[in-house]
Amino acid sequence: MKILATLSGLMAIVMWGAFALLTQKINGMPPYLLLAMCFFFAALILPTLRLVSAKPLVSRPTFTWRGCLISISCLMFFHVFYFMALDYAPVIQVSMISYLWPMMLALLVAGKGSRLQALVGGVVGLFAVSLVLGWEHLSLSSDYALGYLFAFGCAVTWASYSFYLSKANNSIDDMPWLCLGVSVISLIISALTESWAVVFDNQLIFAIALLALGPVGGAFYCWEFGLKRGNSSLIASLSFSAPLISALLLASFGYAQWSSNLALALGLLISASIIINYKKSDVQKPQLVE
C-alpha cells in the first residue's frame, strides 16, 4: 500500500508538470471561471468511478467543519495567490518563489535530527528549479514586491496544506465535496470580477476536462492519497521535478527549446532526493513518516 500511495503522490507531481502544456490550449480563458469549471469536473471524478463500480454516487462527508474550512481555504487561496502574483510580478520570479513549497514541505515532514539534511537537499532542489526556469533571467526588484509576497503566500499555503493532509484523518471520499466548494467560490469571484465572453468549442471543453482530470482536479486526489499513505519525505523531495517535467513536455511538443540545463537540473534533482532521503546505516533505522 505504501508503494502504491507513493506512486500516487508522484503521479500528482507529473500531472502538475503537464499544467503548462495543457494551458496552451486555453489562452484567454478567465482564470477564476476556468478554476470553477475545473473543480466542478474534478468533483465528478469519484462519483463517476462509483457509478462504474455500481456503488452509491456520494457518501456522507467525514471531515469536521474545521477540516472542511482548512481544505477549501487552502485550495482556494493557493490559486488566488498565484493569480494575484502574476498580476504584480513576472512569471519567472513568481514560479521561483512559489516553488519554495517543496523545500518547506521537506522540512515539515523531516524526522527529528534530519531537518538540516532536508534543508540542504531543498536548496539543491531549488537550484535545479532555477536552472529550468532560467536563472540568468532571474532578478528581484522592489517594484514587484507585492507579487513576490503573493507568490510566497502560494508556497506557504501549499506546504502547510500538504503537511496538514499528511496528518489529517479525513477520507479521500471527501474530496468531491471540497472540490465542489472551491468551484462555487471560484464561480462567485468570476461572476463579480470577470467577463464571460468566451466561445466554448469542443477543443476548449476537451482541454478543460483534461485539466480537471489532471493538474487542476485529479492531481489533488492523488496528492492526498500519496501524503496520507505513502513516503511523504520522498514525495516532498521529488516535488521539485514538476517544473522540469513541464519544460520537458513543452520542448517535446515544440512549445520550448531543449537546453543542456535540463540535463543538469535532472542530476541536481536526483541529488536533492538522495540527500533528503538518505538514512545513516550506523543508527537504528527510523520509521517512515506517514
Distance CA 100, CA 117 (A): 16
Q: Report CA Rg, the chain.
A: 19
Q: Which residue has the higher pLDDT, 222 or 274?
A: 222
Q: CA angle at residue 242 from 138 to 173, to 5 degrees?
A: 135
283 domain residue, yes or no: no
139 domain residue, yes or no: yes
In tens, the pLDDT along 70-125 reads 999 999 999 889 888 888 887 777 777 888 888 888 888 776 777 787 788 888 88
Distance CA 233, CA 236 (A): 5
Nine-digit cell string for 210: 483534461
Can you give the pLDDT at residue 72? 92
In tens, the pLDDT along 38-85 reads 999 999 988 888 887 777 777 777 778 888 899 999 999 998 898 888
Can you give the pLDDT at residue 39? 93
288 domain residue, yes or no: no
Q: What is the domain extent for residue 55?
A: 2-277
In tens, the pLDDT along 227-256 reads 888 888 888 888 878 878 887 887 777 766
Taking CA atoms, 223 is separated from 79, 253, 283, in Å, by 16, 26, 31
Question: Using N-to-C axis directions, what is the helix angle for 65-88 and 91-98, rounded to 10°?
Answer: 150
Q: Which of 35-44, 131-140, 154-163 has the lowest mean pLDDT?
A: 131-140
Domain count for the chain, please give it: 1
**How many Cα atoms sit within 13 Å of 231 on the Cβ side?**
17
> Is pLDDT above 80 for 153?
yes
Please report, for the chain, how many H helices and E strands are present, in that order.
Answer: 15, 0
Say what percent of the chain tops pLDDT 90. Answer: 17
The residue with cell 516535488 is 239
Nearest CA-CA partner of 245 in 64, 22, 51, 67? 22
Which pTM does this prediction carry?
0.80
Taking CA atoms, 100 is separated from 48, 132, 223, 235, 238, in Å, by 35, 14, 18, 15, 13
Nine-digit cell string for 101: 513549497
285 domain residue, yes or no: no
Burial of 223 (0-12, 13-18, 19+ CB in 10 A): buried
284 domain residue, yes or no: no
For 233-257, b where at least 16 C-beta lie within 10 A, e where not — what string? bbbbbbbbbbbbbbbbbbeeeeebe
